[in-house]
Amino acid sequence: MSQNGGRRRTSSRSAPRRTPLRRRRATWIVLGVVVVGLGVCGILLARDISSARTALDDATTQAERLQQQLTSGDTKGARASLTGLQRSTQTAVDSTSGPLWSVAKVLPFVGSSVDAVQVSARSVDDIADRAMPPLVSTSRAIDADLFKPRDGRFDLKAFSSIRRPVTTSADVLTENRKRLDAVDTDDLLSAVRGPVSDLQGKVATAQEASSSAARALRLAPELLGSDGRRTYLLLFQNNAEARATGGIPGAMAIVRANDGRLTFDTDFSKDDVKIFAKPVARLTKDERNTFGTTIGTDIRDVNLLPSFPRSAAIARAMVQRSTSAKIDGVISLDPVALSYALRGTGAVRVGDDTRLTSENAVEILLNQVYARYEDPAAQDAFFADAARRIFTQVLDGRGDPRKVLSGLDQAVEEHRILMWFPREDEQAEIEPTALSGRLRDDGTSPRVGVYVNDATSSKMQYYLRQTSSVHAQSCSADGRQRLRTTATFRSTAPADAAQLPSYIAGTGKHSRVGTQRIGVQIALPVGSDVSELTINGKRRLVSQSAFGGRPFVRVPMVLKPGQSITVVVDSTTGRDQRGRPVLDVTPGVAKSPGTRRFASACGS
């Protein structure tokens, strides 16, 4: 019994030792199978990712080639590139689909990156399948000199014929831009973050361009007089005497449109517009305090305020009160925009047989003309004649219309061409675009503006150079960002600037001859608080007002020849402004982007 009992005890002790061992072995076998399985899945996923990346790289190259072919009018080449593009994007979709990708999408750490890759591939494929074919199909119509008038008249039926396909393309790009913008790149692996961010930027650029084209095709027939005669006030902003939206409207013209034909009213000049004793429009308290009352009495000062819809409406009222013209819209442009258009039109002969080209137009129109002509009326006449001849060359169908459009597109991006229409439906079309010149409030994206106004009645801003930036320093829990806005103003005037013609250098009434007295206005985001203002490193008292619901910091300064002045404003935005800060600036003589975006401190 004892032995049996002993054997039973021995058996009972050995059994529990062998059971965990078997379990451990089983566990390791299972883990091994899982690891091997994951390894195989990882290899397969890596293979798919490599295939997708190659396909997307090919698609990028083909898309760039396609864009060049569409721009140059190579319809045959564009069709071949489109076929290759669609093949590559389909490969990218096929390579990022299937059970493995469905499983990987729900895994921690990598799931969001896997999903971003799939969204990117499908969006690019959708764009290739639905957005690009309409553009390629219309390229022949565009290539057939759609934008080149014949006998001074645009073919309005041709505009209408391509409106639908271009709108379709714009709608598809808008749809996919929203899909891509919904991807939060901050949550992605570093290897994925860069390519996805790059794709977001490229699709955004394409979407903005296509939407602008669709918008233009919707507006063009009516604006060109398809439904009856239209009359427009054309303002030429002179950047040498700065105003917030560009420059003083020293010259202007009346342009009439009827059934696709544009003509200039040669009997009209700025001298036909009165200087009024009282403002022609009721000015708000903020407008009076921030910009003065001359914005409502003198057409040369209407754009002291940086909101073109308001300036244009006041200018229209002035012209209609001064003349019998009924103005259907106001269009503004500057000499830099004209120089861009000259790339396509070729040189024009102006005034005293001066040969105006894209290389010399700015220097002649904004500087040399004042040395040639002492009479301001002669200066304005030269300026207006230059604009009229450039437009006439375009309307005569001379030059390359594609280069003209490319130049004008650049001018729009730099805020050098602005439009306003009293008809609500027409204004609604351009309101979201840079053409509107509206003082914007982007909601969650804090917006800063650096605007310049001349205060000497001179043309010395020909020698003004400006550089500005916005640095987001921190982000609070409630979405307030601490911003540092830095703006540097430099005078490139010669040391003997006082010897320049008085119409350039000034009379000395407001500041010493040859200096630049300017009023700088820094518009901060809605709800901002200013903590500090420094000028060349020294703290200064803050002079502040408001306009359009935004605080304005006012900084008067006088620049001597060769001098630089740096203004720094430290501020805190309102709540829930976590987006990337946006900066708008007054377009000057030198090339500069009209709008720039900077990194957010909130990671948005």
pLDDT, tens digit, 9 for 90 and up, residues 417-470: 999 999 999 999 889 888 999 998 878 899 999 999 999 889 999 999 999 999
Domains in the chain, ordered, with CATH? 27-221 (no CATH), 230-427 (3.40.630), 441-597 (2.60.40)
pLDDT, tens digit, 9 for 90 and up, residues 34-45: 443 344 444 445
Residue 140 has pLDDT above 80, yes or no: no
203-241: b (≥16 Cβ within 10 Å) or e: beebbbebbbbbbbbbbbbbbbbbeeebbbbbbbbbbbb
Pair of tokens at residue 288: 């009076």
Q: What is the rounded average pLDDT for all residues in the chain?
A: 85
pLDDT, tens digit, 9 for 90 and up, residues 349-381: 987 788 999 999 999 999 999 888 888 888 878
Task: Of 34-43, 101-110, 358-367, 571-580, give the lowest mean pLDDT range.
Answer: 34-43
Strands lying side by side in the sheet with 261-265? 261-265, 246-258, 230-243, 329-333, 417-420
Q: Please give the model's pTM, rounded to 2 decimal places.
A: 0.82
Place of tokens 């979709």: 93
Cα gap 388→386, rounded to integer Å: 5
Cα gap 304→243, rounded to integer Å: 5
Using DSSP's 3-state secondary structure scheme, residue 470 falls into strand
> What is the phi-psi region of residue 548: left when phi exceeds 0, alpha when psi lies from -120 to 50, beta otherwise?
left
Q: What is the pLDDT of residue 423?
A: 95
- Indicate the angle between helix axes 132-143 and 75-95, nearest 10 degrees: 170
The stretches of 398-480 forming alpha helices (DSSP H) are 401-413, 424-430
pLDDT, tens digit, 9 for 90 and up, residues 143-168: 545 667 777 788 888 777 788 888 89
Q: What is the pLDDT of residue 210?
A: 80
Q: What is the pLDDT of residue 384?
A: 81
Cα gap 389→264, rounded to integer Å: 10
CB 281 within 8 Å of CB 313: yes
